[in-house]
Amino acid sequence: MTPRTRLYAAVAIAAALAGCRGTGDLVVDEGVGITAVRSACPAVGVPDYTGDITLFRTPGAATADNIDVVGALTNVRSTCNETGEKVFTAATFDVLARRTDVRGARQVTLPYFVTVLRGGSAVISKRIGSVTINFADGQERAQVSGSASAYVDKAEASLPADIREQITRKRKAGDADAAVDPLSRPEVKAAVARATFEVLVGFQLSQDQLTYNATR
């Protein structure tokens, strides 16, 4: 795994798990026991430091007065179909771009990636795409839409029956294991991690671009 891939993996958990409760979570119900509302659909998000890209007029001079084009990946939306053996996730997003020199018409192509991550760190697949921004003469800002998709094996994204039973089994007060959180058990934690997938979308950055985003 390259240093850049390791960084993508390290920041992926926070990006994918942010937000309020919904389908895909495990929630406490009726005081004792846990009700699973987890689906096989992966969470979709943008890893930290990959939602922006900055191009410089002179490579290697990462200063404000040398900025050429800035892009931001935003408005990520997704749909999921988990009815078949393969879970299909489709995502759309917008790229907002701004250039500093507005003279003349210009096209700028920006690369992006879509990665399937398993268990918060294992990269299952990665594909590269691109979007092209068209600036008219005198135009400072422009926008374009992009799309990405990914497949996940439904069997691998589903909890084994014995693990699901451990998680969802109702426990009565006074039971020997009533006070034990089933999700704290190593075998349960490992099974949940193996069945947890994320689809991550971001700009395909060079090491210098990634460092710039992380340290600016």
pLDDT per position as a tens digit, 184-212: 678 888 888 889 999 999 999 999 999 99
Tokens describing residue 79: 């749909």
Per-residue model confidence (pLDDT) at position 193: 86
Comparing 35-39, 105-109, 150-154, the range with the smallest average pLDDT is 35-39
Alpha helices in 27-157 (DSSP H): none
State the pLDDT confidence band at 161, using cuts at 50, 70 and 90: confident
DSSP annotation of 212: H
What the block records as the tokens of 198 is 């994320």
Q: What is the pTM of this model?
A: 0.76
Q: What is the mean pLDDT of the chain?
A: 82
Specify the pLDDT at position 114.
97
Half-sphere exposure in the Cβ direction for 145 (13 Å, CA): 6
Look up residue 81 and give its two tokens: 């179909």
Are 93 and 145 in contact by the 8 Å Cβ rule? The answer is yes
